[in-house]
Amino acid sequence: QKEVEQNSGPLSVPEGAIASLNCTYSDRGSQSFFWYRQYSGKSPELIMFIYSNGDKEDGRFTAQLNKASQYVSLLIRDSQPSDSATYLCAVRLGGYSTLTFGKGTMLLVSP
């Protein structure tokens, strides 16, 4: 059974701080990893994906992947109140495989 674990939060950070969101996964065969943001009452929207060990940066967002530790994280620099949402980690095996989601971490950024 493939599992994706996230702390449900809420994670509270002040405006301008760095928010760090973490995700672990159980299947060592997992090959690609996605972070989605979901505002309350809305559908998930893609932030970024990563499939190589190391860091990947996109604007204020940095995804970090450590396959040996089966760990992926998302850093949000200069957090804004508009970043307040639930962040979903999703994991995929290679080939014709499904995207398995974690339960999400709620992030609250206070002004």
With binding defined as CB under 8 A, does residue 88 bind other proteins? yes
Q: Which range of residues in 10-18, 62-70, 74-82, 102-110 is near other proteins by CB under 8 A?
A: 102-110
Q: Counting contacts by CB under 8 A, is residue 61 touching other proteins?
A: no
Smallest distance, Å, CB 72 to other proteins?
Answer: 14
Indicate the burial class of 6 (C-beta count within 10 angstroms; 0-12, 13-18, 19 or more).
buried
Distance of alpha carbon 86 from alpha carbon 89, whole angstroms: 10
Structure tokens at 70: 């089966």
State yes or no: residue 100 binds other proteins (CB under 8 A): yes
Q: Examine residue 56 and tell whether it contacts other proteins (CB under 8 A).
A: no
- Does residue 91 bind other proteins (CB under 8 A)? no
> Is the CB of 29 or the CB of 81 nearer to other proteins?
29
Residue 62's region, left for phi above 0, alpha for psi from -120 to 50, else beta, is beta
Is the CB of residue 72 less than 8 Å from the CB of residue 59?
A: no
